[in-house]
Amino acid sequence: MRSADGIDQPAVPTALAATATATMSPETPVKKLTDYGKRSLFVGIGALVFAVVPGLSFIAFIPALGAIIFALMAMVRSTNYKGKALAGLIMGAVALFLSIIVSTAAVGSPTADDASSNEPIAAEEQVELSEEDAAAAEAEAAAQAEEDAAAAAEKAAEEAARGTVAQQNAKGSAESHLDYSSFSRSGLVDQLIFEGFTPDEANYGVSQTGL
């Protein structure tokens, strides 16, 4: 093979030249694998931002899963640029976890409107309970008053039937006189009056003897 200067050069096999050309050409897969790591990192950052915002936390799982998938693709297919892929994987996992927590807290916490609407209901229930308690206390007091009145009336009846101390003494004296002699009713009453009992006490004592 002759060059442009007219100097003969050894011929290069066609297959070897093609191989060298292919080796020197840039490889597009490396660029794609590098892009997967970058994508994982950027999507993971976006997922973290979405996860901490209550309104956006409900959809934060989408970019979080995307960051995890991109990171796994970059780590499996390439031996280079695994640092960004690992960072994207961690961010995606953290974003997924935070989105679940923030979304659960947002759903579980009552809103201001719900809290304000529940306040009148709670106040009404408290008023109803207070009225019921007052009615129950009033009914219990009335029942206790009736029991006390009945007990007082029963005690008064027992005392009336038993008589006063003086009446009981007049009864005992009348019974004592009847044990030793016989008296008419009027004579026994006079005897008890003579002993110092009042006419009412004397009549009561004689009546209790059955005379």
- Full-model pTM: 0.37
Q: Does 8 have pLDDT greater than 60? A: no
How many C-beta atoms surround the C-beta of residue 89 within 10 A?
23
Give the tens place of pLDDT for each residue, 55-107.
888 888 888 898 888 888 888 876 566 788 888 889 888 988 988 888 888 88
Higher pLDDT, 194 or 35: 194
Give the tens place of pLDDT for each residue, 119-176.
565 566 676 777 888 888 888 888 899 888 888 888 777 666 656 788 888 888 888 8
Give the C-alpha separation, 133 to 150, whole Å: 26
> Phi and psi of 210, rounded to 5°?
90, 10
Give the C-alpha separation, 139 to 132, whole Å: 11
Q: For residue 20, what pLDDT is reported?
A: 46
Any idea where the domains of the chain sit in the sequence? 27-107, 159-211
Give the relative orientation of helices 185-194 and 199-208 as an angle to the nearest 10 degrees: 130
Nearest to 170, CA basis, from 190, 184, 153: 190
Give the tens place of pLDDT for each residue, 170-184.
888 888 888 877 778
Higher pLDDT, 208 or 29: 208
